[in-house]
């Protein structure tokens, strides 16, 4: 048997069968479903493949012990909690503080917010600079970049030749860049 006969059996049903029969094979099938999840959780916290593999084995043993003591309603979330707590205990035991992870996450979030603010500022500058382009360049840039129209569609909509459309877009792009750079360095 390799567990395939339980492929369509829910975690809840497997747990119920395990509690009724105490057949460790059923528990093995259930744990096998979540081995990769456990390994991923352990890698996230422990940052070491061998330590993570060891932790998964220890978690399996803890799960066997705990399930004999009381029933579990939501196996996946319960298992995740067991794994997370086990990893945090390992980190505490080795005096590795997950506070560093928290600081890194805060720093990443601050960097993300800073980049988003810079993007917003750049978009505002682009919008203001777009209004300073001549009408033909502004029209072609707006249709091409903002409305995602092709050169052919712009030509048909405006009456400009394809060569004019291409020229207005290239010159408009260059002028837009110069205007934005000038505003950035004020």
Domain-ending residue, one of 93, 121, 152: 93
pLDDT of residue 103: 62
| Residues 33 and 88 placed together within one structural domain of the fold | yes
Domain that holds residue 21: 4-93
What's the pLDDT score for residue 98? 53
Q: What's the confidence (pLDDT) of residue 100?
A: 58
Asked, for residue 149, whether it belongs to a domain, the answer is: yes
Q: Is residue 24 part of a domain?
A: yes
Say if residue 89 is in the same domain as residue 119. Answer: no
Q: Give dist(CA 56, CA 42) in Å, integer.
A: 7
Predicted local distance difference test score (pLDDT) of residue 127: 85
| pLDDT reported for residue 23 | 84
Share of residues in the chain with pLDDT > 90 (%): 37
- The number of domains in the chain is 2
Do 91 and 46 touch, CB atoms closer than 8 A?
yes
Do 130 and 180 have their domain in common?
yes
Stretches where the chain sits below pLDDT 70 are 1-3, 95-109, 112-113
Half-sphere exposure of 68 (CA within 13 A, CB side): 8
Among residues 64, 93, 122, the one where a domain terminates is: 93
**H helices present in 34-161, as ranges:** 35-46, 49-69, 75-93, 99-130, 135-141, 151-158
Which CATH number is 31's domain given? 1.10.1740.10
153-172 pLDDT, tens digit each = 999 999 999 999 999 999 99
pLDDT value of position 81? 86
């Amino acid at each position: 048997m390799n567990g395939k006969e339980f492929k369509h059996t829910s975690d809840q049903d497997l747990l119920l069968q395990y509690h009724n029969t105490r057949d460790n094979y059923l528990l093995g099938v259930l744990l096998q479903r979540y081995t990769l999840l456990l390994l991923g959780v352990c890698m996230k916290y422990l940052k070491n493949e061998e330590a993570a593999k060891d932790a998964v084995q220890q978690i399996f043993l803890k799960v066997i012990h705990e399930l004999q003591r009381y029933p579990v309603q939501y196996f996946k979330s319960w298992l995740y909690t067991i794994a997370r707590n086990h990893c945090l205990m390992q980190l505490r035991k080795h005096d590795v503080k997950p506070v560093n992870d928290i600081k890194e996450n805060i720093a990443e979030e601050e960097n993300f917010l800073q980049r988003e603010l810079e993007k917003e500022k750049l978009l505002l500058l682009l919008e203001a600079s777009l209004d300073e382009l001549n009408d033909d360049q502004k029209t072609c840039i707006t249709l091409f970049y903002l409305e995602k129209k092709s050169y052919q569609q712009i030509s048909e909509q405006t009456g400009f030749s394809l060569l004019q459309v291409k020229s207005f877009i290239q010159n408009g792009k260059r002028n837009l860049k110069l205007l934005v750079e000038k505003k950035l360095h004020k």
